[in-house]
């Protein structure tokens, strides 16, 4: 997830770009850059300075500012290519006449890059984006206008994009285009603007338009023409923004946690994007493990902390079913101080949103020293873990600001399941048809999660009824068990209420003694072979006086009848069920925390990234 901005027709173009980039930093800050353009030429400044990228850019750009009235800017969340100045946007074509900024992923960039290099182009970065500048360069050489050149190129690329493109041939013009990634445009007085999100433009205009998929906008000073990819002129519906800037930074949501819960379908789609080729082969290109390496694996060990550990536990069920290999999942702080037995052909998978959690990092180092192949599932490009592991599998959830992990957890489960299917594909433990079925199921999870999120009101009503409760147990069986652990962690973390997660079958081995009237038991009883057994456990706690909240699949009246309160979710295959069953549990924790007047984004005593033991 990156942020883009553009302006034409302004005496303050540079200030508008820099102010906008500051407002877009929540979308990533691995690097930042601007291009300013007029009849004299293109001036480009790029900085890769981590969290300070935009601030440093502001310090150094005055030298490049000669009052140019137009420009484009970018703040980067690295996906393809390290966070570095070389990979920072804007990117140029070979001649330096075309510059562009991009948010999204160009899925077929590798094949396009190979063709461009063979045709004599020189690529100056490791990004997926740069190919677009060179494709536009070639299209312009055929005599097309910039708009037509962009239109032609967009027909040939796959993936997601929001683009701003400028060219020396027509320096007042910015061409904007969108597919999947968000893009808004607006014009006021003699100026026209584009940006990834509303906060970037709110100080300039409150009257905006949202570009739709496959629409292209021509921005000239004070005027905008929008066409479809086929060249038909259209008028996007106007949007008048009434929020203030602070609210707008959270996209109109009350807090980052709510925003990030709502971003889960996008996180799932972005994590899946470009990872299956036309032949149905799963492509995890930064894994750096050959098919022979994957065939040689004899055991899998997952190491992680907190919510990432829960994602690893979900993966265990899928890995064992699909790969038919022994799988262990360890809390990293335990693994690193044990003497774990790792065979020569062990695969150790670190799972970490930040890629910096010290216990997971040390556990991975220990595994590496013992000769195992070590990979990491990380949301942050070029994190310490990504640098130290043999290979990386990135989740593409975008930056997560709320301390409570939400969208990154579902993205981790999706990424781990892709890994499991890849290994099963190479080892032949699943047939091509079975792989295709599982991939289709994974592909449908975004829509299912969106449906679950839309039921927030129902969850809020249940939370309001239980606002005075102080003791919570979360129960689940099979993949419902890690879901229960995650539900309990979310509740503890942001509401400061006591919550325990347990496998349903363990109750009678001790915890049942604690159950009494006043206790709330949240039971995950969605589909799967263990549902009836789960409902027996529910009967056990009910008979001891607990109040029961059941998470059940749509249409399961029988299960629903066992609960005092019911949270319904759409059904999904059992190995993927946690991806959607976790949603009402996130919302339940959220509403209980809000009812207690707590800051859900910054819970006490906790930090987003834990780099101390």
255 binds ligand M6R (CB under 6 A): no
Give least dist CB 19 to ligand M6R, A: 31
Between vectors from CA 613 to CA 476 and to CA 397, what angle results, nearest 5°?
Answer: 55
Bridge pairing between strands 346-352 and 373-378: parallel
When binding is defined by CB under 6 A, the residue of 53, 87, 301, 308 that contacts ligand M6R is: 308
Contact letters for ligand M6R, residues 472-491 (x by CB under 6 A)? -----------------x--
Check binding of 360 to ligand M6R (CB under 6 A).
yes
CA-based torsion, 286, 74, 86, 176: positive or negative:
positive
Given the complex with ligand M6R, which of 183 and 305 has the nearer CB atom? Answer: 305
Q: 563 vs 603, which CB is nearer to ligand M6R?
A: 603
Active-site residue, 492 included: no
Buried b (16+ CB within 10 A) or exposed e, 383-407: bbbbeebbbbbbbbbbbbbbbbbbb
| Residue 307 makes contact with ligand M6R by CB under 6 A | yes
- H or E segment at 178? strand 174-179
Give yes or no for a contact between 306 and 334, defined as CB atoms under 8 angstroms apart.
no
Nearer to ligand M6R, 233 or 612 (CB): 612
Among 404, 550, 569, 583, which residue sits at the site for ligand M6R (rule: CB under 6 A)? 404
**Residue 403 touching ligand M6R (CB under 6 A):** yes
Task: For the CB of residue 311, give the shortest distance to ligand M6R in the complex, in Å.
Answer: 8
Among 61, 125, 271, 352, binds ligand M6R (CB under 6 A): 352
Among 486, 501, 497, smallest CA distance to 583 is for 486
To ligand M6R, the closest distance from the beta carbon of 361 in angstroms equals 9
Distance CA 73, CA 578 (A): 39
Nearer to ligand M6R, 30 or 137 (CB): 30
Give the count of residues interacting with ligand M6R (CB under 6 A). Answer: 16
Scan for tokens 């670190």, then name that residue.
Answer: 350
Taking the complex as a whole, the smallest distance from the CB of residue 335 to ligand M6R amounts, in Å, to 13
The distance of closest approach from Cβ of residue 606 to ligand M6R in the complex, given in angstroms and rounded to an integer, is 6
Is residue 586 at the binding interface for ligand M6R, with CB under 6 A as the rule?
no
Q: CB-side exposure of 169: number of CA atoms within 13 Å? A: 16
Secondary structure, 3-state, 86-121: CCCCCEECCCCCEEEEEEEEECCHHHHHHHHHHCCC
Tell me the CA distances in angstroms from 331 to 311, 335, 351, 484, one per residue in order: 12, 6, 10, 17
Q: Which stretch binds ligand M6R (CB under 6 A): 22-30, 318-326, 398-406, 413-421?
A: 398-406
* Residue with smaller CB distance to ligand M6R, 91 or 407: 407
* Residue 357 sits in the site that holds ligand M6R (CB under 6 A): yes
Residue 26: CB minimum distance to ligand M6R, A: 18
Between CA 284 and CA 291, with CA 285 as vertex, the angle to 5 degrees is 75
User: Which is catalytic among the residues 2, 490, 519, 580?
Assistant: 2
Assess contact for 147 and 176: CB atoms under 8 A. no
Among 13, 272, 294, 305, binds ligand M6R (CB under 6 A): 305
Nearest residue to the partner ligand M6R, using Cβ: 306
Q: In angstroms, rounded to a whole number, what is the distance separating the alpha carbons of residues 447 and 375?
A: 29
Among 405, 534, 566, 572, binds ligand M6R (CB under 6 A): 405
Nearest CB to ligand M6R, comparing residues 80 and 310: 310
Q: Is 407 a catalytic residue?
A: no
Q: Which stretch binds ligand M6R (CB under 6 A): 143-151, 229-237, 347-355, 551-559?
A: 347-355
For CA atoms 25, 27, 30, 32, the dihedral sign is: negative
Identify whether the C-beta of residue 199 lies closer than 8 Å to the C-beta of residue 184: no
Q: What is the CB neighbour count within 10 angstroms for residue 195?
A: 31
User: Burial, 598: exposed, middle or buried (Cβ in 10 Å; 0-12, 13-18, 19+)?
Assistant: middle
Binding segment (CB under 6 A) for ligand M6R, from list 63-71, 243-251, 300-308, 473-481: 300-308
Pick the catalytic residue: 94, 533, 542, 608? 608
Nearer Cβ to ligand M6R (249/383): 383
**For residues 69 and 355, which CB has a smaller minimum distance to ligand M6R in the complex?**
355
Interface residues toward ligand M6R, by CB under 6 A: 305-308, 352-354, 357, 360, 403-405, 489, 493, 609-610
* Residues designated catalytic: 2, 608
């Amino acid at each position: 997830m990156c942020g883009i901005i553009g302006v034409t027709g302004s005496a303050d173009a540079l200030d508008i770009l820099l102010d906008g980039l500051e407002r877009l930093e929540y979308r990533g800050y691995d690097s930042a850059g601007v291009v300013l353009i007029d009849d004299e030429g293109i001036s480009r400044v790029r900085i890769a300075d981590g969290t300070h990228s935009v601030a440093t850019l502001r310090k150094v750009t005055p030298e490049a500012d000669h009052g140019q009235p137009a420009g484009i800017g970018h703040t980067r969340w690295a996906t393809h290519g390290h966070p570095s100045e070389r990979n920072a946007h804007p990117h140029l074509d070979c001649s330096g006449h075309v510059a562009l900024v991009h948010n999204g992923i160009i899925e077929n960039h590798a094949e396009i890059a190979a063709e461009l290099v063979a045709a004599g182009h020189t690529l100056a970065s490791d990004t997926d984006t740069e190919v677009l500048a060179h494709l536009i360069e070639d299209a312009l050489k055929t005599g097309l206008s910039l708009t037509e050149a962009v239109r032609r190129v967009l027909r040939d690329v796959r993936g997601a994009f929001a683009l701003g493109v400028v060219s020396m041939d027509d320096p007042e013009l910015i061409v904007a285009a969108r597919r999947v990634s968000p893009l808004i445009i607006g014009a006021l007085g003699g100026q026209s603007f584009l940006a990834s999100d509303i906060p970037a433009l709110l100080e300039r205009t409150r009257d905006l338009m949202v570009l739709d998929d496959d629409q292209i906008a021509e921005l000239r000073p004070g005027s905008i023409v929008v066409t479809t990819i086929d060249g038909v002129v259209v008028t996007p519906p106007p949007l008048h923004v009434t929020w203030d800037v602070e609210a707008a930074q959270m996209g109109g949501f009350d807090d980052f946690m709510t925003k990030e819960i709502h971003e889960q379908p996008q996180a799932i789609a972005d994590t899946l994007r470009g990872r299956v080729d036309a032949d149905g082969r799963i492509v995890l290109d930064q894994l750096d493990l050959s098919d022979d390496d994957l065939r040689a694996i004899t055991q899998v060990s997952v190491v992680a902390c907190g919510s990432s550990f829960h994602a690893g536990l979900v993966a265990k069920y899928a890995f064992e079913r699909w790969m038919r290999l022994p799988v262990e999942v360890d809390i990293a702080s335990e693994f690193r101080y044990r003497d774990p037995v790792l065979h020569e052909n062990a695969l150790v998978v670190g799972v970490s949103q930040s890629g910096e959690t010290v216990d997971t990092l040390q556990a991975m180092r220990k595994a590496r020293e013992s000769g195992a192949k070590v990979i990491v599932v990380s949301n942050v490009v070029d994190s310490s873990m990504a640098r130290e592991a043999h290979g990386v599998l990135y989740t593409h959830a975008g930056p997560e600001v709320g301390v409570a992990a939400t969208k990154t957890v579902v993205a981790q489960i999706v990424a781990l399941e892709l890994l499991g299917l890849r290994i099963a594909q190479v080892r032949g433990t699943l047939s091509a048809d079975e792989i295709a079925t599982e991939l289709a199921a994974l592909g449908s999870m975004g829509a299912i999660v969106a449906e679950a999120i839309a039921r927030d009101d129902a969850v809020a009503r249940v939370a309001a009824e239980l606002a005075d409760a102080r003791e919570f147990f979360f129960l689940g069986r099979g993949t419902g068990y890690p879901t229960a652990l995650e539900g309990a962690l979310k509740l503890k973390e942001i509401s400061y209420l006591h919550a325990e997660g347990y496998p349903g079958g363990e109750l009678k081995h001790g915890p049942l003694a604690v159950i009494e009237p006043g206790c709330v038991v949240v039971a995950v009883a969605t589909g799967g072979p263990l549902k009836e057994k789960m409902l027996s456990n529910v009967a056990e706690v009910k008979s001891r006086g607990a109040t029961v909240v059941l998470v059940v699949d749509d249409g399961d009246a029988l299960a629903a009848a066992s609960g005092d309160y019911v949270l319904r979710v759409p059904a999904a295959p059992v190995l993927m069920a946690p991806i959607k069953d976790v949603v009402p549990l996130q919302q339940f924790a959220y509403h209980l925390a809000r009812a207690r007047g707590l800051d859900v984004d910054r819970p006490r005593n906790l930090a987003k990234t834990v780099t101390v033991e």
